Structures are given as structure tokens and as C-alpha cells.
């Protein structure tokens, strides 16, 4: 049986840090409040306006390819999960294709907010499992700072910029993606959205004046539904594969809020030492969170480890994926300054 396995991970994080203390100068908030209510200490921000999402996505993808020793010409398909594409069209995947020089592939973007990476991974898995493709780049990349309203304390404290990329290849040795559940429900669409610039509210002086080109969220609604949604699909995918918390090496949860992550892990019976958490350092990078976690923990992963990836995002969109990790991670010299475990 052919399964889709992650065979390499790359990442890109901007150098510049936006700390809670920096935010204290922009909105009525405090480091203490942000830490206690979200778990975030700082985020990365890509300030250079000439460097859009495709810049970060290409760098993450290139690193994943180089680590695997694969030439961009061997890639069959590029899928980019993002809600901050360089422009409405062409797709960011096309721009990444060009910047990589991946001359033998096709590609498209997946718009699923914070589930963008997970949905892209599920899509890639189908193309591998049916035998059509041999090498797919799945990228989660978002430059959230460009759609942040830095006068709105309900949202600007949460998000940061970053990108992660994985290479997906066929495996027939029992490792790879075993099962997944994906869901969406548009009935709460207005709890987390960016109204301006689409076909309903095309860009105009009015959309600018009303700050409609910024992300807006009803934090409490999102919080409540996120806990229910993420925990339910994660528990369901474990149950239907006969797994208990003891069988799981790591939970890889979307990094939206430390309290959402803790509640999900509790429901799944997974102890805190087996939960990947880097929200304190990067905030919520939207489609970037899951591959950035995999990158940070890669050296601790061993072939055959059971992982549950789980996400929740605007739409609402949510899902959980059960996979068996395909290779032994190696701790490279450049990882020397990276914590061994639970860097959160
Ligand atoms: C946004 C979020 C952190 C707010 O935390 P919360 O505990 O729900 O806080 P509430 O919205 O209930 O607000 C509690 C109080 O804190 C205040 N508050 C809100 N943001 C604040 C901030 N940044 N600093 C200080 N106080 C703040 C509110 O005004 C409110 O004050 P009040 O009681 O006087 O009215 C939280 O709801 C959350 O994380 N939601 C999910 C967001 C998310 O995951 N988004 C991405 C989805 S993928």
C-alpha cells in the first residue's frame, strides 16, 4: 500500500521580533495579560515590504529540498496554504514555482486559514496514494503582519509571520499518513475574517476607511468553537485507529492559544511533555504553525513515531491527521541553539 510520507522539513522565520512590550506601546495591553491569556511572548515580523509571502515560502521550500538533496525539477506539485497570498492571483504557488525554478510541476493555493497546511497535506496525500505523483511540496506560509490592525488589541497580539514546508513522497513500509478527518462550517464565517478586497467588498475608499482590509475576529466565539472542534476531530481520529494517549509520540497542534492547545491535549489524554508548543516564540503564524513545529522538533522524531496533527481556523475549518513519521531526525550544528524539547 502506497502512503504519503513527509521526508523533509524546511522553514523560514524573519529576524525581527515583535515583543509583548512592543505591543504595550501600540495598544492598551500588557505583557502579563498576553502571556496569561495566550501563552505568547513574542512573534516574528517581516518588515521589508518587498518581501511578500512567496519570499518566505520559497526559502522554506528550498531548505526542505536541500536537506533531502532533491532538485526542484523533480517536484510534481506545489501546494501553498495561505490567507496572505502575494496577490489574489496568480496563486502564490506559481510565484514559488518560478522562484525555485521547479520547471516540471503544477501548483495552486489552498485558502483554509489556519487549516491551510493541514488541508494542503491531505490534498497532497491523495495525489501520492493514487500513484500519480512522486514528490510534492506542501507549504504553509503567512505574512499576517500585513493584514493586522495594530490598533485592535483583540487580534494584533496573536499573529506573527513565518513559513514552513514539507516534502511529501510515497512510502510502502508502513510509515506516512494513515488517516485524516477534515471539516468546514461556514455558518460562523463572520467570527474570523477579512472583508475587504474580495468580490463582495472590492477595494474602494470606503473599504479602506472602514479598515476592512484587516483581519477581524470575535475572540470568544473562535476560542469556544476551536476547543470543541480541534479536540473532537483529534479524539475521533485516535479512536477510529484504536489509539490512546500512550500510543502517541507527539501531538502537533495549531498554535492559536496555549489554552486551546492544553484543552485539546487533555481531551486526547496526551501529557504536556508530548505536545509540540512554540507559540511563545512565534505567536500564531496561521498556515505556518504546523510545519514550523515539525521543523523545531524534527531532531527528536524517529521512524515509526505516531503523530497527530490538528488544526482549527477561520471558515471555520478544522481537521486532524494521524501519521507515522518516516525517518530519524538528526540534530545538525545549526540547531545547537534550539531547545531539545518543549521549547514553549
Ligand atoms: C483573543 C483572546 C486571546 C481573548 O482572550 P479571552 O480570554 O477570550 O478574553 P475576552 O475576549 O473574554 O476578554 C476579556 C477581557 O480582556 C480584555 N482584552 C481583550 N484583549 C485584550 C488585550 N490584548 N489586552 C488586555 N485586555 C484585553 C477584553 O476587553 C475584556 O475586558 P472586559 O472584561 O473589561 O470586557 C481569546 O479569545 C482567543 O485566543 N481566542 C481565539 C483566537 C484565535 O485562536 N484566533 C485564531 C484562530 S485560528
pLDDT in tens, 83-125: 999 999 999 999 999 999 999 999 999 999 999 999 999 999 9
Active site residue 254: yes
259 lines ligand 1 (CB under 6 A): no
* Separation of CA 279 and ligand 1 centre (Å): 16
Q: What is the pLDDT of residue 330?
A: 81
pLDDT at 332 over 90: no
Strand partners for 109: 80
Helix residue spans in the chain (DSSP H) = 20-24, 31-38, 53-68, 92-100, 116-129, 205-209, 219-239, 258-268, 279-282, 289-297
Is 286 a pocket residue for ligand 1 (Cβ < 6 Å)?
Answer: no
Residues 6+ apart with CB under 8 A from 31: 19, 20, 21, 24, 41
Could you give the CA distance from residue 335 to residue 172 in angstroms, rounded to a whole number? 30
pLDDT at 64 over 50: yes
What is the pLDDT, as a whole number, of residue 339?
46
Nearest protein CA to atom 19 of ligand 1, as residue: 154
pLDDT in tens, 277-297: 999 999 999 999 999 999 999
With the most atoms of ligand 1 within 8 angstroms of its CB, the residue from 111, 115, 220 to mutate is 220
- The residue from 94, 105, 114, 293 that is catalytic is 114
What would you report as the CA-atom Rg of the chain, rounded to the nearest whole angstrom?
A: 19
Return d(Cα 21, Cα 170) in angstroms, integer. 46
Cβ-proximal residues to 200 (8 Å cutoff; 6+ apart), any chain? none
Question: What would the pLDDT profile of 169-196 be if each residue is shown by its tens digit?
Answer: 999 999 999 999 999 999 999 999 999 9
pLDDT in the model for residue 334: 59
pLDDT band at 344 (very low <50, low <70, confident <90, very high): very low
CA distance 116 to 110: 6
Evaluate if residue 323 carries a pLDDT over 60: yes
pLDDT at res. 331: 62
Would you state the pLDDT for residue 337? 52
Amino acid at each position: 500500500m502506497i502512503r504519503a510520507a513527509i521526508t523533509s522539513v524546511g522553514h523560514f522565520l524573519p529576524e525581527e521580533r515583535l515583543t509583548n512590550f512592543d505591543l504595550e506601546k501600540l495598544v492598551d495591553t500588557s505583557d502579563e495579560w498576553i502571556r496569561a491569556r495566550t501563552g505568547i511572548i513574542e512573534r516574528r515580523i517581516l518588515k521589508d515590504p518587498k518581501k511578500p509571502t512567496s519570499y518566505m515560502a520559497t526559502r522554506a521550500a528550498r531548505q526542505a529540498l536541500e536537506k533531502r538533496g532533491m532538485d526542484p525539477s523533480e517536484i510534481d506539485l506545489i501546494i501553498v496554504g495561505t490567507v496572505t497570498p502575494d496577490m489574489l492571483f496568480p496563486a502564490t504557488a506559481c510565484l514559488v514555482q518560478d522562484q525555485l525554478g521547479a520547471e516540471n510541476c503544477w501548483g495552486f493555493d489552498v485558502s483554509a486559514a489556519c487549516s491551510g497546511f493541514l488541508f494542503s497535506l491531505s490534498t497532497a496525500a491523495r495525489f501520492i496514494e493514487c500513484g500519480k505523483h512522486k514528490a510534492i511540496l506542501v507549504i504553509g506560509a503567512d505574512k499576517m503582519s500585513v493584514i493586522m490592525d495594530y490598533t485592535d488589541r483583540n487580534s494584533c497580539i496573536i499573529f506573527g509571520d513565518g513559513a514552513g514546508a514539507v516534502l511529501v513522497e510515497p512510502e510502502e513500509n508502513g510509515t506516512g499518513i494513515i488517516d485524516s478527518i477534515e471539516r468546514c462550517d461556514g455558518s460562523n464565517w463572520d467570527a474570523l475574517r477579512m472583508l475587504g478586497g474580495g468580490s463582495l467588498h472590492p477595494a474602494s475608499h470606503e473599504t479602506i476607511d472602514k479598515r476592512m482590509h484587516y483581519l477581524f475576529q470575535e475572540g470568544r466565539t473562535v476560542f469556544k468553537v476551536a476547543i470543541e472542534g480541534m479536540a473532537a476531530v483529534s479524539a475521533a481520529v485516535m479512536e477510529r485507529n484504536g489509539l490512546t494517549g500512550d500510543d502517541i509520540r507527539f501531538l502537533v497542534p495549531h498554535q492559536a492559544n496555549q489554552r486551546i492547545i492544553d484543552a485539546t491535549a487533555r481531551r486526547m489524554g496526551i501529557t504536556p511533555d508530548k505536545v509540540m508548543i512554540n507559540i511563545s516564540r512565534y505567536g500564531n503564524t496561521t498556515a505556518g504553525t504546523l510545519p514550523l513545529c515539525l521543523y523545531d522538533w524534527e531532531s527528536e522524531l524517529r521512524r515509526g513515531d505516531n503523530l497527530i496533527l490538528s488544526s482549527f481556523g477561520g471558515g471555520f475549518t478544522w481537521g486532524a491527521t494521524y501519521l507515522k513519521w518516516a525517518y530519524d531526525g538528526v540534530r545538525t550544528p545549526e540547531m545547537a541553539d534550539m531547545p531539545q524539547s518543549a521549547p514553549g
